[in-house]
Amino acid sequence: MKQLAFELASPPAPTLDNFVVGENAEVLAAVRALARGGAGERFVYLWGGSGSGRTHLLRAVLREWQGAGRVARFHASDDPPAAAAIAATDAIAVDDVQQLPPPAQIELFNIYNSLKESSGMLLVAGDVPPARLALRPDLLTRLAWGLVYEVRALSEDDRRAAVHSYARARGFELPAEVTDYLLSRAPRDLSSLRALVDTLDRLSLEQKRAITVPLARELLQAALPRN
C-alpha cells in the first residue's frame, strides 16, 4: 500500500445529530435545550467513562452555540479556563474537570458565579458524579446545583449498529466480520471507529479491493500505535 493510504481519515465533526443516542435520550434532550439557550437550566454537568460520548456532546453543544452567534469557548484540562478571559463570553464548555489543578478549580468556581450573574451557560463533563470528584468543595457544590446526567456507554449491539449505519450512510455495507474485527481490536469510541470506516472505504476504492478482515488488519497494523 502507499504510505499515504495509512493515514487515518479525520473523524466527522461532532454534532447533536450524529450523536448515537443508545440509552441517553434524556441526556440528549437536556443538552439540546442547553444548546438552544432557552429559559431552562443553564448549568449542566455530564459524567461518564471513557468512550461514553460526553466529549462529543460538549463539542457538539459548542458548535450549536457558536452557530447561533454566541461567544462560546471549549476548554480541556490542559487548557483550563481563566475567569479574567471570559468577560464577553456567553457560554463555556469544560471537559475532564476531574483533571483540573487547584488554581484552575478556583478559576472555574469564579467563572460559574460570573456566568450565573450574566445569564450565561456552562456545560462541564467529568468521569464521575460531582460527589465523587476530588475537587474543591465550593466548586463541587456549584457543579451539583445544575442538572447532572450520566452519559451511558453504548451497548455492544448499539455500537455495532452505529458502525453499520455509518458505513451504510457512506454508500456501502460493512461486512459483519469486519465490524467484529474492528470492535475487538480498534479503539472503541465512535469517533475512532468512524475514522477507520472512512479510511477502509478510501483504501478499498484506491486499491480496488473488497473491504475484508485482511484489509482491516493491514490498516490497523499500519495506522495504530503498537504497544
61 and 138 part of one domain: yes
Strand partners, 93: 74, 123
145 and 171 part of one domain: no
Last residue of a domain, one of 114, 129, 150: 150
- CATH number of the domain within which 143 lies: 3.40.50.300
d(CA 179, CA 224): 17
User: Which range of residues forms the domain containing residue 110?
Assistant: 25-150
pLDDT of residue 97: 96
pLDDT profile of the chain (227 residues), mean per 10: 54 89 95 84 93 93 94 89 80 95 94 91 96 96 95 93 91 94 90 91 93 94 67
Note the pTM of the prediction, 2 decimals.
Answer: 0.85
Question: What is the gyration radius of the CA atoms in the chain, in angstroms?
Answer: 20
User: Which residues have a Cβ under 8 Å from the Cβ of 83 and sit 6 or more positions away?
Assistant: 107, 110, 111, 114
32 and 144 part of one domain: yes
Number of separate domains in the chain: 2
User: 15 in a domain, yes or no?
Assistant: no
pLDDT of residue 87: 72
Question: Which cell numbers in the block locate residue 216?
Answer: 482491516
